């Protein structure tokens, strides 16, 4: 019983860490209109943030294997947690966009450490159900932070800087609690626990895919997903404010609903969705996301935004969990690492591209662009399934 309680406490702390991981992603889209107004920047200047964040995120994630030769994964995760809190506090005092971007790079590195280390730790020590619940808490963080930021930017007494101060203080408090738990030895897993986990995950594998082309298609799904997920969460506030005339408080509701729906979809699948299988869930999710994006082309309803979140939410954890079915065991770790790197590159390239088009052509092109990304994901996914089922 004591060991079980210890495990529950540890999982609570891991989930809290992933909650912090979602905070920067949710807040920036709401803060950006105020940031660029204060600093005299055009809409599409957010490309600097996308590119900087993604490069440093991918760099940190790709180096986890080397870093963990010297320090444990949980220590790398704590470093990431502290870095996120410090980096967002830097946003508060940044006097200009150059300094702000330097802190974006710092946050990107920290998020890369936290994301990759916690995914690796959970994959080694816990089940796929826990993996889905882990990503659910990213959605919770990404839902809470735009709510906090919206309250600040619509208030006469506060600004986006106050919003980041509040969010960074929350992240810092969680980092302190998790650091104390690390000192108390809570993160150490026993050999028997690892063996039990590995035994529960053992499956009889059928045909597996080989070849660079198949690996490329598998990774490319995450590239398009990064573009779709981040573009929707970041640009929707600017579109609603500047193209459709939605007032600030209502516009800020869109990313809150979006990230909240991502959280709820992952919570539901982590709790009830095991019987359907990862591939069925991925297919259903893509259809739901497309329906939501199509509805947003013609309406300004948060219901459409909720559908997009419900659709996009399960794809990443289900795809990560499904990798061992498609590929040989020796390729899985490498491919998962490449997937998260591709996710970051997709954010940099595709979300930046969407911003350029929106700023120079029409804000309304957000939804056609993201529809295109999801269609590309679906095509690649079905091509791989056809190959493995031949």
- Checking if the pLDDT of 156 tops 70, the result is yes
Beta pairing partners, 327: 209
Mean pLDDT of 352-374: 91
Given pLDDT bands bounded at 50, 70 and 90, which one contains residue 224?
very high
3-state secondary structure at position 42: coil
Q: For residues 152 and 59, give the distance between their C-alpha atoms in angstroms, rounded to a whole number.
A: 33
The tokens 């089940």 sit on which residue? 127
Kindly indicate whether the domain formed by 2-199+206-389 is annotated with CATH number 1.20.1250.20.
Answer: yes
In DSSP terms, 209 is beta-bridged to 327
pLDDT, position 202:
44
- The rounded Cα 186 to chain-centroid distance in angstroms is 26
- What is the residue whose two structure tokens read 């839902």? 143
- Per the model's pLDDT, the better-predicted residue between 5 and 237 turns out to be 237
Q: Cα–Cα distance between 90 and 104 in angstroms, integer?
A: 9
Residues 322 and 339: beta-carbon distance below 8 Å: no
Decide: residue 207, CB within 10 A, 0-12 exposed, 13-18 middle, 19+ buried.
exposed
What mean pLDDT value characterizes the chain?
Answer: 84
On whether the CB atoms of residues 254 and 302 are closer than 8 A, the answer is yes
Residue 150, both tokens: 């919206």
Gap between the Cα atoms of 325 and 207, Å rounded = 8
Q: What angle do CA 17, 23, 24 make, to 5 degrees?
A: 120
**What is the pLDDT, as a whole number, of residue 195?**
43
pLDDT digits (tens, 9 = 90+) for 293-318: 999 999 888 999 999 999 998 898 88
Q: Where are the alpha helices (DSSP H) in 273-328?
A: 278-298, 302-312, 315-326
What is the C-alpha to C-alpha distance for residues 141 and 120, in angstroms, rounded to an integer?
Answer: 20
Smallest CA-to-CA distance from 152 within 139, 171, 168 is with 168
Helices (H), the chain: 2-39, 46-62, 64-67, 73-93, 97-125, 128-153, 160-183, 191-201, 212-242, 248-251, 253-272, 278-298, 302-312, 315-326, 329-346, 352-360, 366-389
Instruction: Quote the pLDDT of residue 199.
Output: 46
Other Cβ atoms within 10 Å of 250 Cβ, number: 14
For residue 289, what are the contacts with CB-CB under 8 A and spacing of at least 6?
Answer: 228, 307, 308, 310, 311, 312, 374
Quote the CA–CA distance of 63 and 79 in Å, as a whole number: 14
Model's pTM, two decimal places?
0.76
Report pLDDT digits (tens) over 79-115. Answer: 899 999 999 999 999 999 999 999 999 999 999 888 8
Predicted confidence (pLDDT) at residue 230 exceeds the cutoff of 90: no
If one compares 184 and 310, the residue with the highest pLDDT of the two is: 310
> What is the structure's pLDDT at 377?
96
- Whether the predicted pLDDT of 205 surpasses 80: no
């Amino acid at each position: 019983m004591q060991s079980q309680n210890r495990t529950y406490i540890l999982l609570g702390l891991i989930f809290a860490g992933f909650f912090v991981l979602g905070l920067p992603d949710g807040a920036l889209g709401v803060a950006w209109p105020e940031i660029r107004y204060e600093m005299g920047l055009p809409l599409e200047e957010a490309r600097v943030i996308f590119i900087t964040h993604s490069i440093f995120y991918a760099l940190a994630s790709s180096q986890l294997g080397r870093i963990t030769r010297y320090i444990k994964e949980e220590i790398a995760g704590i470093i990431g947690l502290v870095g996120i809190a410090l980096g967002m506090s830097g946003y508060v005092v940044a006097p200009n966009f150059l300094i702000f971007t330097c802190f974006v790079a710092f946050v990107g590195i920290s998020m890369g450490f936290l994301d990759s280390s916690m995914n690796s730790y959970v994959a080694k020590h816990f089940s796929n159900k826990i993996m889905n619940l882990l990503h659910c808490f990213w959605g919770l963080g990404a839902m809470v932070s735009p709510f906090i930021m919206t309250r600040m930017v619509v208030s006469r007494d506060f600004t986006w800087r106050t919003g980041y101060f509040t969010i960074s203080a929350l992240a810092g408090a969680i980092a302190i609690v998790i650091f104390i738990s690390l000192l108390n030895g809570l993160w150490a897993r026993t050999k028997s626990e690892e063996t039990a986990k590995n035994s529960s995950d053992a499956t009889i594998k059928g045909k597996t895919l080989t070849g660079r082309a198949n690996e490329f298609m598998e990774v490319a799904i995450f590239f398009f997903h990064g573009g779709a997920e981040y573009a929707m969460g970041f640009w929707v506030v600017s579109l609603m404010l500047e193209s459709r005339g939605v007032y600030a408080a209502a516009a800020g509701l869109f990313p809150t609903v979006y990230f909240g729906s991502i959280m709820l979809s992952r919570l539901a699948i982590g709790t009830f969705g095991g019987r359907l299988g990862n591939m069925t869930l991925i297919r259903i999710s893509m259809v739901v996301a497309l329906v939501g994006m199509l509805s947003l082309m013609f309406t300004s309803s948060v219901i459409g935004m909720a559908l997009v979140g419900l659709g996009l939410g399960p794809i990443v954890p289900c795809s990560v969990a499904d990798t061992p079915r498609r590929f040989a065991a020796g390729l899985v770790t490498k491919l998962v690492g490449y997937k998260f790197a591709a996710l970051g590159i997709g954010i940099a390239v595709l979300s930046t591209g969407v911003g350029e088009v929106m700023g120079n052509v029409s804000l309304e092109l957000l939804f056609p662009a993201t529809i295109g990304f999801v269609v590309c994901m679906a095509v690649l996914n079905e091509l791989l399934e056809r190959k493995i089922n031949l």
